[in-house]
Structure 1
């Protein structure tokens, strides 16, 4: 039976699992999208083409960067997001969808500063089933996590994270997923879940927030976005393919 089971790529998993477009995906809802829960190597683009700082591009992202002042930090983040949501024959990956810029913009605002959470002590170690328990704000968790990914790359492979092969990146990100990396004030697994959720949100959110460039994330899902009305189509007996519409008015 085991030989008859077909490996499922990361993108195929997203496609067949019915992940709700634009929904917030919490830890454990769809499992890890990389590493030991996905086919080795996934469906990412050629590693040599992706490595070397291709992520450091501002084209297609409104407003450029707002949070990351260090190019290398931003490039590490970008490559990590691409491993979680890779480009393939179905469409662009995280970098092509502007997900790193979406995360950058979110960290610069209320999300990164935890403005809607109670952030006063006392602080206790939370259980895996509990929500946000860290004294650190999301922007600090992301920065620490990115720096830890770079440290792991140097320690394991004596290379920068952005210079690694795809499977080497997966090894490091999977170590975070399994809570095998020591972080201060937060569990590595919690950082992984924050990162994974942010990637999916950036891929499927309205383009006005900096991700889902060209509404390509919606197009891959066949999601119509924000239509003013369906009155001219609701009684149709045929399946209607509708060009997506953004709140920002982009087509």
Structure 2
């Protein structure tokens, strides 16, 4: 069979080859683009999901934890209590002040911080709370009792300072006492006291209600309640 040159079109062959090659290249490029997009979506999805440490990645949480840990902590057991007569009055002669050790006998105490009082006011159908005062709750201290009954004797002697022999009431300045309650640093001890409050108080209630024949090995503790005489000028 002879080759018919009249049917041979070099331009058409080159054009067809070029079109096929371009189509192949476009198809390959589109495939690579799709693969890249899928890869990026996978990376983005993993980056958004892999934060199991309370909403943080492991590295972020480690940094956050280090900063929080660096703030330090205060311990409930690291508190101190100090007693002071008001303007050198007769409370200075109570057994409580014999040696300056009575503050260490306080085994438990509260520490009032804020107690605000509000009045509710209606404005149409809505409610507004308006501040009408700031008060102080009572202090509740538990004392480890000493062998000479220092705490109980102090309370009775204190009562005598509050009431005259004829039964009349004595002015508060004669029996008031300062109590300071605060917390100190676990690391630096009493050299660093980040928070404390000083209260002008008078005794309110004290009663030993748990005496029992079975308590042969229990240390006696005396609960004492103090009223805050005023919550200003201190």
Q: Which has the larger radius of gyration?
A: 2
Task: Normalising by structure 2, report the TM-score.
Answer: 0.20
The structure with more helix, counted as a fraction of residues: 1
Task: Normalising by structure 1, report the TM-score.
Answer: 0.19
